[in-house]
Structure 1
Amino acid sequence: MPRGDGRLNHHLDSEQPGPQDACGVFGVWAPKEEVAKLTYFGLYALQHRGQEAAGMAVSDGSGVVVYKDVGLVAQVFDEPTLASLRGQVAIGHTRYSTTGGSTWENAQPTIRSSSSGTTIALAHNGNLVNTAELTRELAGTSLDSDGATSDTALVTMLLASHPDLSVEAAALEVLPKLRGAFSFVFMDETTLYAARDPHGVRPLVLGRLERGWVVASETAALDIVGASVVREVEPGELLAIDVEGLRSFRFATPEPKGCIFEYVYIARPDATIAGRNVYATRVEIGRRLAEEHPVDADLVIGVPESGIPAAIGYAEASGIPYGSGLMKNPYVGRTFIQPSQTLRQLGIRLKLNPLRENVRGKRLVVVDDSIVRGNTQRAIVRMLREAGALEVHVRISSPPVNWPCFYGIDFATRAELLANGLDNEGIRRSIGADTLGYVSVDGLIAATEQPKSRLCRACFDGEYPIDLPAENLIGKHVLEGVGRRVAVKPGAGKPAEPVSTAALAASLGVSTTPNRP
């Protein structure tokens, strides 16, 4: 049964859980380059954003071909496949692994032909919150939304549902109607498009090749293909790139609310978001952690990989030596995005192993990026004690994750979030640490060097910047809130009684009003 618990509402049949994506996207327009190979390398640089499936669409000007499958980028594509995908424009996608099924159908890009003969392929990073409303709009067209298993497929259908308009004009009709977080790359036979939601929740950057253009989720993907960074795609902006050059359109007034968790965990440390380097941000978070939660210890270690920069910052500010205490198996994926609880727990042991000689007899400060369910930290503390650590002091480079994300990150249901219902001491006991300290929200914001008003912090403070439609959260029946249920009961032969977003938010104890400066 669907619940307002942060599980991403991709499936249009509200009786069934759907695929839950938060991914990496890449697009290139370069008539004189091997665009499939450029896309392959771009996706390789974005592999950390999604490890379940990969795909690309390529056009030679006469038709669009999509190739996608379950697996890592290097598993899905090989030399013969890439050699066969010839063209001048391409888009690519790496799918984030969540509780959704690992099936070919859930891989992207999605593709749809319009009645005018144009073919549209689209890849998406984010999550829409008004799919029910959009589905009703599609019902009035010649296209059947029953085939749409995700909001990505739905948007592709909407773009194809305007036979009398160009793709460019159709996008300017469709994009203002979307609610939620989206960074799109899409294409037709001749043109590359990119669009970012008015809040700019998920990152998207524009780059320049010597003979073409590139768009990608992160600057690291531009670097790997030799593209220079031009700028970020602005919130509320649509770009179109073809033989005529680059065109920019504003489809909505920008109200920036970039995801603060990109700085903490999601983005690569060599990425730059809103002008701020991610690695430098994580080091600064560590410094602030040391100031806010000092402790006497012998060694500071970081949990690979995203905990290491913060551990370095903690060591610098505290004067405690930094060293290696955990070795990571580079061939095991991120446990945060494994598709089941069982695999998460197994994956922690597969991924990390203590350096016994370094930790034996030491009082350790262990710096990690976040605590979601607590499985990782519980296993790490246990492993370090078994390896001979005298004390284990856990420091977290983000505040407690108290609230689900509706904008593209599948943390967990609210009931699964360890910080929901447990205070700091309760969490400390749960993971078995000697002490526990989180960086404050203010400390994290200061480390990003971004104004508080330009950041989405909903997972930490419950202030959701994008309105959450009640019908989308509760499906047909029930939304589980904080210790209670808010039900919508349909009458005999009558539509369900509507619930206002304000009332829904009040029942959950959260705010859905965008934060103002």
Structure 2
Amino acid sequence: MIITNPFDSDLNGDKLREECGIFGIWGAEGTAAAMVALGLHALQHRGQEAAGITSWDGTMFHTHRAMGHVAGNFDRDDVIRALPGDAACGHVRYSTTGETALRNVQPLFAELYSGGFAVSHNGNISNAAKLRNELVRRGSIFQSTSDTETIIHLVAMSSYRTLLDRFIDALKQLEGAYSLVCMTPEGMLICRDPLGIRPLVMGRLGESYIFASETVALDVCGAEFIRHIDPGELVIVSDKGLRSIRPFAEVPPRPCVFEHVYFSRPDSIVDGSSVYSVRKAIGAQLAIEDPVEADIVIPVPDSGVPAAIGYAQQSGIPFELGIIRSHYVGRTFIQPGDKVRHLGVKLKHNANRALIKGKRIILIDDSIVRGTTSVKIVQMMRDAGATEVHMRIASPPTRHSCYYGVDTPERAKLLAAQMTVQEMARHIDADSLAFVSVDGMYKALGESGRKESCPQYCDACFTGDYPTRLTDQEDVAPADQLSLLAERVPA
């Protein structure tokens, strides 16, 4: 029997997961779909469950959506040839709750009175259940269980005359996080929510404009980075050129701090900061705040590597690769018997035993979510002969769920929400455990610390300070939530 790899959850499954990445291009002279496929390859880390591309050839829209990775679905000539046109948008995604189904794969597309409308969304609409309930009562018929479809219905039901005004009217009814790339016969609409929670950048390749979740997607396409899309900005690009408007009242931005800690690729620039440099600086801050005598510093691969380098450089303790990761384990595996199942963690990660034996080690990881990863890694180090195992985490304790487009367990399953740091250390069997402080994380980002009255980032997963209303959590009765969103799959 072939199933999803049960060992993916041993290490990689105990991570917060960004739910999607988006990419759009306008003016690509017949190569738009191929460029989008290339860009989505660079954003694959943001969503590995499904991918889709919609193109516009000046007369018709063409869509191909598929479960699985970009490779294998969009590296075939026949697929790309079936997506003609000079403009296209694409999406890679994870699902969180509910079904994994093709109808939820983006871009979502609908024929409106004004013509076709395709949308790729990174984020999560925190009042989607309430909006959906109202729309259904007014006669809307939903075809997916994604919160993104709410945007399409709001545009369709708006009483404003022009498509742009209807789109703005829809946006002003949304709460939560959204970076959007939308295609219409009139042009491409690109926007970022007023708080700028999720990232979005703009680049140029010849006469083409490109929009993507991360700068690394521009690099892969050979495009020039122009700038980040500002929080609350709406960009309209068409054959007439590009223009920008600001339809929202200006508010202090709150971009997601976890983009720097974990989500984005280390070779990306997020809101002006090098992700790699920030992660190294967090590691150095950890060494300042929580030093410990040890022989070697070991990253938990791959996300712990930059912080471990920073910790080692600041502390003077040698950096070593004490855990070796295999990059050749696929996403499927023949179901083993229970006797073998517990050995599955070694398919992807194995201790460098000769290096570890007899050593006092410091393990550096980016976060602790449920704690299952940390338990297995600490045990792996002890089995390999480590005399002491100290764990340092390059983010503050994750004590709260995210409602802005991140796959976070409910709070009851977050280890830091249930235990003190000392209790967590005992739970994972570490000799010591420490997390970087909230202020220390901000210092690594170039700030003097967190401004309590007006935080510079969305850090709700650490502090519980949510920057928007959480209408679906606060106002919708549990029965309504169950009936409306039992299968909801955030963008």
- After TM superposition, the score normalised by the length of structure 2 is 0.87
Distance of 2:387 and 2:413 partners within structure 1: 30
Residues 326 and 196 (structure 1 numbering): CA distance in 2 closer, same or farther, change over 3 Å?
Answer: same
Residues 398 and 347 (structure 1 numbering): CA distance in 2 closer, same or farther, change over 3 Å?
Answer: farther
Q: Give the drift of 1:276.
A: 0.7
Distance of 2:227 and 2:52 partners within structure 1: 25
Deviations 1:196-221 (A, max 9, x none): 10000000001111111000000000
Matched, 1:174 2:170: yes
Partner of 1:319: 316
Partner of 2:396: 399
Distance of 2:327 and 2:48 partners within structure 1: 13
Q: How does 1:104-503 map to 2 (within 5 A)?
A: 104-116=102-114, 118-139=115-136, 144-162=140-158, 165-255=161-251, 256-332=253-329, 348-450=345-447, 452=450, 453-469=455-471, 471-473=472-474, 475-477=476-478
CA contact (8 A) 2:142 2:149 kept: no
Partner of 1:94: 92
Match of 1:81 among 79, 82, 92: 79
Partner of 1:35: 32
Letter in 2 for 1:455: Y
Distance of 1:446 and 1:327 partners within structure 2: 31
Deviations 1:358-412 (A, max 9, x none): 2122111110000000011111111111112221111000000001111111221
Distance of 1:346 and 1:110 partners within structure 2: 40
Q: Give the drift of 1:298.
A: 0.7
Residue 430 of structure 1: SS of its match in structure 2? helix
Deviations 1:407-436 (A, max 9, x none): 111221100000112001110011111110
| % identical aligned pairs | 44
Distance of 2:77 and 2:300 partners within structure 1: 35
CA contact (8 A) 2:55 2:83 kept: yes
Q: Give the drift of 1:133.
A: 3.6
Letter in 2 for 1:107: V
Deviations 1:422-452 (A, max 9, x none): 0011100111111101000000011112574
CA contact (8 A) 1:349 1:379 kept: no
CA contact (8 A) 1:90 1:192 kept: no
Distance of 2:192 and 2:345 partners within structure 1: 34
Structure 2 unaligned blocks of 5 or more: 1-16, 332-340, 482-491
Q: Give the drift of 1:162.
A: 4.3
Residue 444 of structure 2: SS of its match in structure 1? helix
Letter in 2 for 1:421: Q
CA contact (8 A) 1:236 1:252 kept: yes
- Aligned CA RMSD, in angstroms, stands at 2.3
CA contact (8 A) 1:113 1:160 kept: no
Q: Give the drift of 1:355.
A: 1.3
Distance of 1:332 and 1:315 partners within structure 2: 29
Distance of 1:258 and 1:104 partners within structure 2: 30
Q: Give the drift of 1:101.
A: 2.7
Residues 282 and 427 (structure 1 numbering): CA distance in 2 closer, same or farther, change over 3 Å?
Answer: same
Letter in 1 for 2:202: L
Distance of 1:73 and 1:91 partners within structure 2: 14
CA contact (8 A) 1:368 1:395 kept: yes
Q: Give the drift of 1:310.
A: 0.3
Partner of 1:340: none
Q: Give the drift of 1:146.
A: 3.7
Residues 51 and 331 (structure 1 numbering): CA distance in 2 closer, same or farther, change over 3 Å?
Answer: farther
Residue 259 of structure 1: SS of its match in structure 2? coil
Deviations 1:266-303 (A, max 9, x none): 00001111211000000000001001111111110111
Distance of 1:189 and 1:438 partners within structure 2: 50
- After TM superposition, the score normalised by the length of structure 1 is 0.83
Stretch moving more, 389-398 or 95-104: 95-104
Structure 1 unaligned blocks of 5 or more: 1-19, 335-343, 480-487, 489-517
Deviations 1:215-241 (A, max 9, x none): 000000011111111111111111111
Distance of 1:346 and 1:82 partners within structure 2: 41
Distance of 1:259 and 1:234 partners within structure 2: 14
Q: How many residues are paired up?
A: 449
Letter in 2 for 1:329: S
Distance of 2:89 and 2:396 partners within structure 1: 35
Residues 211 and 360 (structure 1 numbering): CA distance in 2 closer, same or farther, change over 3 Å?
Answer: same
Partner of 1:504: none
CA contact (8 A) 2:103 2:144 kept: no
Distance of 1:253 and 1:74 partners within structure 2: 41
Deviations 1:95-152 (A, max 9, x none): 0243443221221111111134x000101111111123422553476x6244341111
CA contact (8 A) 1:115 1:163 kept: no
Q: Give the drift of 1:478.
A: 7.9
Deviations 1:75-103 (A, max 9, x none): 22222211221101100000024344322
Q: Give the drift of 1:472.
A: 4.3
